[in-house]
Structures are given as C-alpha cells and as structure tokens.
Structure 1
Amino acid sequence: MIEVAYVTKDMRRDPYERITHLGGAGWQRSQPDVVQQIEQGQEDYYILLDGIPAKLTVALSRFGAKYLKTELEVEEPHILLSLPSQAA
C-alpha cells in the first residue's frame, strides 16, 4: 500500500475534479493514473487519519467523472481534499 501525503488541487474545478495529482515521499502521480492503478488492481493507496489508514477508492460522480475518495466518505472527497496541497 502506498501512503498519500499531499494532493495538488485545481480550485476552479468542482470537488469531484479538483484533485489533479497525489503524492508522497518521493513520488507524485496524476489522479487519472492513480484511478487506473486502483481499478486494475496494480496498487492500493491510503491516507492516515489520526494514525489509522483509510484506503482510497474510485467513485463515479453524478456527472460521470471518476474521482478518488477515502473508504470513509459517502460522496464528495472532503477528507482527501483536506490533505496539504503541493504544486505539481
């Protein structure tokens, strides 16, 4: 499993498309690449919430866009969006 420590955001987009990249210690990938890796079973990603891992899952917005969220979130990725932001 790969820990996500930060996200890169495009604040002009809606919450489902706002995250453009995810990253951690020594790596950064685009959201579409991470979605593809999860869907194909190549990698699992997670974030730490109070020291407890929360796995990322792929979801489909009401507009048909694939996006990432934690397994704890019902719809919008508020927890993921609360991670520190870093430039792409």
Structure 2
Amino acid sequence: MIEVAYVTKDMRRDPYERITHLGGTGWQRSQPDVVQHIEQGQEDYYILLDGIPAKLIVALSRFGAKYLKTELEVEEPHILLSLPSQAG
C-alpha cells in the first residue's frame, strides 16, 4: 500500500474533480493514473487518519466522473481534500 501525504487541487472545479494529483514521499501521480492503478489492482493507496490507514477507493459522481475518496466517506471526498496542498 502506498501512503498519500498531499494532494494538488484546482479550486475552480467541483469537489469531485478538484484533486488533480496525489503524492507522497518521492512520488506524485495524476488522479486518473491513481484511479487506473486502483481499478486494475496494480496498487492500493491510503491516507493516515489519527494513525489509522484509510484506504482510497474509486467512486462515480452523479455526473459520471470517476473520483477518489476514502472508504470512510459517503459521497464528496472531504477527508482527501483536507490533506495538505502541494503546489502544482
């Protein structure tokens, strides 16, 4: 499993499309690449919440767009969006 430590955001977009990249120590990938890795079973990604891993999953917005959220979230990726931002 790969830990996600930060996200790069485009604040002009809606919450489902706002995250453009995810990254951690020594790596950064676009959201579509991470979605593809998860869907194809290549990699699992997680974030730490109070020291406990929360796995990222692929979800589908009501408009048909794929996005990432933690397995703990019902709809919008608020937890993922709360990660520190990295300049894009």
TM tier, smaller: over 0.9
Measured in 2, the distance between the counterparts of 1:87 and 1:35 equals 21
**Alpha-carbon shift at residue 6 of structure 1 (Å):** 0.1
**Alpha-carbon shift at residue 16 of structure 1 (Å):** 0.1
Question: Structure 1 unaligned runs (5+)?
Answer: none
Measured in 1, the distance between the counterparts of 2:30 and 2:45 equals 13
Question: Structure 2 unaligned runs (5+)?
Answer: none
Measured in 1, the distance between the counterparts of 2:23 and 2:42 equals 17
**Alpha-carbon shift at residue 87 of structure 1 (Å):** 1.2
Where in structure 1 do 4 or more consecutive aligned residues deviate above 6 Å? none
Root mean square deviation of aligned Cα: 0.3
Aligned match of 1:40: 40
Aligned match of 1:26: 26
TM-score by length of 2: 0.99
**Alpha-carbon shift at residue 37 of structure 1 (Å):** 0.2
Pair 1:59 & 2:55 matched? no
User: SS in structure 1 opposite 2:56?
Assistant: strand
User: SS in structure 1 opposite 2:38?
Assistant: helix
Measured in 1, the distance between the counterparts of 2:10 and 2:80 equals 14
User: SS in structure 2 opposite 1:36?
Assistant: helix
**Alpha-carbon shift at residue 53 of structure 1 (Å):** 0.1
Identity %: 95
TM-score by length of 1: 0.99
Question: Residue by residue, what CA displacement relative to the aligned partner does 1:24-50 show, whole Å, maximum 9, x if unpaired?
Answer: 000000000000000000000000000
User: SS in structure 2 opposite 1:17?
Assistant: coil
User: SS in structure 2 opposite 1:33?
Assistant: helix
Measured in 1, the distance between the counterparts of 2:65 and 2:35 equals 11
**Alpha-carbon shift at residue 23 of structure 1 (Å):** 0.1
